Structure 1
């Protein structure tokens, strides 16, 4: 029969607290996975939805939604930005952005033209010019990380300008005009050189990774309880032979 040692009160408290914490972290990770899967479904639905006029949602886009819009304007094609760390870049290349000026509007709309594998300044196709009618998804800009050295755009004098993070505030300051809070990711077009696969960016933390972290947290909770039981189980005394 298994015998148990009476545990100290502090060991019980620490074990319960740790187990509860790990379980709550696991549940939180599962919630994050469900949340991101909801965003992915919304994104997929938006990609095939009929476009709405841009001015309906331009300044205040619906939260956690990705409206497909149609917009008219003219290109500022001589002001192009190259993002050289796009997440879907497997062979080297740049994501190309150009501002679009809308009629009677001081704000500019930054347009994601698409990805060019293996491209740089010297290999850009002809840049857009003139009037344009565009369709695409109105998306949050790429995430901004820690850019050592500050604003990389301010010190560049030649166009196109290159950056490893696309900060809309920096771009607005560089252009000298305010920008809309999101970017327009153009619909795919086989007639252009750009690759336009604007999969919603969860490459660094997809839903599956959240579930893997949840499993780890739940495993830690089980491990804490198992360690507690092992440490407080009395060992049977060894039998000695007195013959």
Structure 2
């Protein structure tokens, strides 16, 4: 049991170190791409390489009624929604995250939101949505808008909105221009926290091993004393 416990905690420690290294590489990528010029849909359309974190400017118009409310989003300790809309461009339909808005007092109420009208220019960052296997959509396909969703699963949303979507989301940079708060964090947990967790796991593994050694020593010492008697 001690061997299993020490092995698991040691593995968790190295896993945290690996996560810390991934976060450091991601931060470097974000910093490098922030220094690049703003790209257009024409430049990234059809690219197979990693396009996350690229600054992007698009021109088009929102589908007027198709508002999506991403449920259970927290901003400064308050529960709310992130407002998403379908943005039609010359290169296809793009899911756009306009920012965070607070939830009404009662669950059966939805916030009153409106999408910008007419042709406009938007600037933001390319985001690749990560599916959470612990979250599933409880809403059925419905003609009632706005539609509450549990996560922005693009494959599922294509069926709901009955139109093809580009394989990424545009996270608006200046969400306050549309009356919303910015709730987007490209790196949720910094590398320093992962290093801290790694130290804790290695410490627990060492403590577990020391307890086992001490217990084994006392047990063997007791046997020796009984033999002498």
Tell me if 1:73 matches 2:60: yes
Question: What CA distance in whole angstroms lies between the structure 1 residues aligned with 2:15 and 2:111?
Answer: 47
Question: What CA distance in whole angstroms lies between the structure 2 residues aligned with 1:99 and 1:71?
Answer: 13
2:209 corresponds to: 225
Identify the match of residue 139 of structure 1 among 105, 127, 148: 127
Question: What CA distance in whole angstroms lies between the structure 1 residues aligned with 2:98 and 2:54?
Answer: 17
Residue 153 and residue 71 in structure 1: after superposition, are their counterparts in 2 closer, same or farther (change >3 A)?
farther
1:5 corresponds to: none
Contact 2:27 2:187 in 1 (8 A): no
Greater share of strand: 2
2:94 corresponds to: 109
SS in 1 for 2:57: strand
SS in 2 for 1:136: strand
Matches within 5 A, 1:68-217: 68-88=55-75, 90-103=77-90, 105=91, 107-118=92-103, 121-124=110-113, 126-141=114-129, 143-147=131-135, 150=137, 152-154=139-141, 156-188=142-174, 190-200=176-186, 202=188, 206-217=190-201
1:6 corresponds to: none
Question: What CA distance in whole angstroms lies between the structure 2 residues aligned with 1:144 and 1:18?
Answer: 28
Structure number with greater Rg is: 1
Q: TM-score, normalised by structure 2?
A: 0.79
SS in 1 for 2:129: coil
Question: What CA distance in whole angstroms lies between the structure 2 residues aligned with 1:117 and 1:61?
Answer: 36
Q: TM-score, normalised by structure 1?
A: 0.75
Is there any run of 5+ residues in structure 1 with no aligned partner, and where? 1-10, 239-243
Q: Per-residue displacement from partner, 1:107-151 (whole Å, max 9, x unpaired)? A: 410011111124564522x32222122111010125434445x55
- Report runs of 4+ in structure 1 exceeding 6 Å deviation: none
Identify the match of residue 25 of structure 2 among 38, 47, 60: 38
Residue 18 and residue 90 in structure 1: after superposition, are their counterparts in 2 closer, same or farther (change >3 A)?
closer
Instruction: State the shift of 1:61 in Å.
Output: 5.9
Residue 197 and residue 100 in structure 1: after superposition, are their counterparts in 2 closer, same or farther (change >3 A)?
same
Question: What CA distance in whole angstroms lies between the structure 1 residues aligned with 2:54 and 2:76?
Answer: 25
Question: What CA distance in whole angstroms lies between the structure 2 residues aligned with 1:40 and 1:224?
Answer: 35
Q: Per-residue displacement from partner, 1:7-53 (whole Å, max 9, x unpaired)? A: xxxx9xx74x7645543431221121121133234335545643111
Contact 1:93 1:117 in 2 (8 A): yes
Is there any run of 5+ residues in structure 2 with no aligned partner, and where? none
Aligned CA-pair RMSD: 3.0
Instruction: State the shift of 1:162 in Å.
Output: 0.9
